[in-house]
A and B are shown apart, each in its own frame.
Chain A
Amino acid sequence: MRLIPKDVESLWTLFTAPTVWALHFLACYVTAAVFCAKAGVAPFSFEAMRLALGVVTLVALSGIVLSAYLAWRQWGFGSGDPPHDEPTRKDRLLFQGFATLLLSGLSFVAVVFGAVPLLFIGACQP
């Protein structure tokens, strides 16, 4: 049984990867801001928060990779070249698959960029 049918015609799949990107950005930004604003209040260390956000990053990247795989499948594993601009159901599906794949790529890069400070920032600046 497939998780999502191959030929599902919904715009929601298109937004999956950018939504994951937005949620990952919010998770990193809000967590770090609240942790540093309430310095010493949180029951865990900065390192623990860094690690947790690292895990969140991996989960986000996995979600985006999954979205990219589904999009690749919808695009027919690259069997046809764009532009898919015929007014047919098949072309609409292929077009959407290709657009979703590109958006997934963008979102993957954006999540990696968003996570770069996790590697270098080791403390809150008072």
Chain B
Amino acid sequence: MRKIGAGAGLPLARRRMRAISLKVSPSGARSISRRALPILLIPLSGCTGAQSALDPAGEEAAAVFQLFLVMVVGGALIWIAVVGLLIHAGRRRETPWSAEKAGRLIAWGGVAFPVVVLLALLAYAVWLMPAIRPWLARVAPAPETIEVTGEQFWWRIRYPASDGMPGFETANELRLPVGTRTAFSLKAADVIHSFWIPALGGKMDMIPGRTNMLSLEPTRTGLFRAPCAEFCGTSHTLMAFSVVVMEPDDYATWRRAQAGGNRPGTGEGKRLFAYHGCAGCHGVRGVTGPATLGPDLTFFGQRQTVGAGTLANTAQNVARFIRDPGAVKPGAKMPAFDMLPEKDIAAIATYLVGLQ
């Protein structure tokens, strides 16, 4: 019986390879690569979007992206060189390298090259640090400071008083003027959270009992998403805020409106909001008294999401959240209000979405 070993299998495999390569003519190969190109490019589309550090919209994010590119390209070139050397080393040759020549290669390629390249990359990264995280003390004029507190599982945002306007609190949506540096004093109410707007800059932890400072400068307007970047409990992944970068004039208008609060308005929803005790935890400036236990809901209808980045902001989703927050967002501190009549929940939801 004939044994089928490597010696017999190899020619067979080679014949098959030849058959395959014969079927693909050069023009055919080109058309395949042309057809494959869009498919190969699909993963690249993941690099853009509202939550991507690879699509920078801020000074700091641009510096981080630059560092990323230099490191990736540098690493890839070194990898190609090392793999090339490996292939070269694995090939059989008539006259092997002398010990002296090999020693020289090791000294240059294994000692001198890494020392110089690592020194250059290290110096480059340290040199870039002020661009990635500007020294606040040296930023002139001193930027305005917005206080952001991480809470399970939402974001409390306090704007300071400015231009005669009083300071105000909002939640889960940050608005910033384009082209202006803003500082953030970052705090945590319960456990460690992390403040990260990938499109604008690097992240900074929010630690209970500490105040961490960060500053960011957006360079283009747009809507961005900022996830909590430190595991903080069951709904960590559902804790995000939206960032709206606006033209300075629009921003000033928005801020004036926010500081002034909502118009009192009338309607069944407004009455029920107070009647069922919502206003005990959630404040609506200009409508209810101050309440800071839960997220402030002033101009809630302008926000992109309900439940800190969990659902789209529609009356239907707001009603769903009121009925049972824990079903939407496990571990949420707000109790379920499924004992309320459906029409009351719907009225409150409509009222909140109407807070424009």
Contact = CB atoms under 8 A, between A and B. Distances in A.
A33 interface: no
Given A109-B115, A112-B119, A113-B118, A120 B138 contact: no
Given A126-B136, A126-B213, A121 B115 contact: no
Nearest to A113: B122
A117 interface: yes
Contacts of B137: 123, 126
Given A116-B123, A116-B126, A125 B135 contact: yes
B142 to A, nearest CB: 12
Nearest to B119: A113
Contacts, number: 30
Interface size class for chain B?
Answer: 10 to 19
Interface centre among B135, B136, B213 (most CB of A within 10 A): B135
Q: Is the interface of B mostly helix, strand, loop or mixed?
A: helix
Contacts of B136: 125-126
B50 interface: no
B97 interface: no
Contacts of B133: 125
Given A125-B135, A126-B213, A120 B119 contact: no
A123 B126 contact: no
Interface in A97-126: 105, 109, 112-113, 116-117, 119-123, 125-126
Given A109-B115, A113-B118, A120 B135 contact: no
B262 to A, nearest CB: 36
A120 B213 CA distance: 21
B115 A120 contact: no
8 contacts: A112-B119, A113-B122, A120-B123, A120-B129, A125-B133, A125-B136, A126-B137, A126-B213
Closest 3 CB pairs of A and B: A120-B126, A123-B135, A120-B127
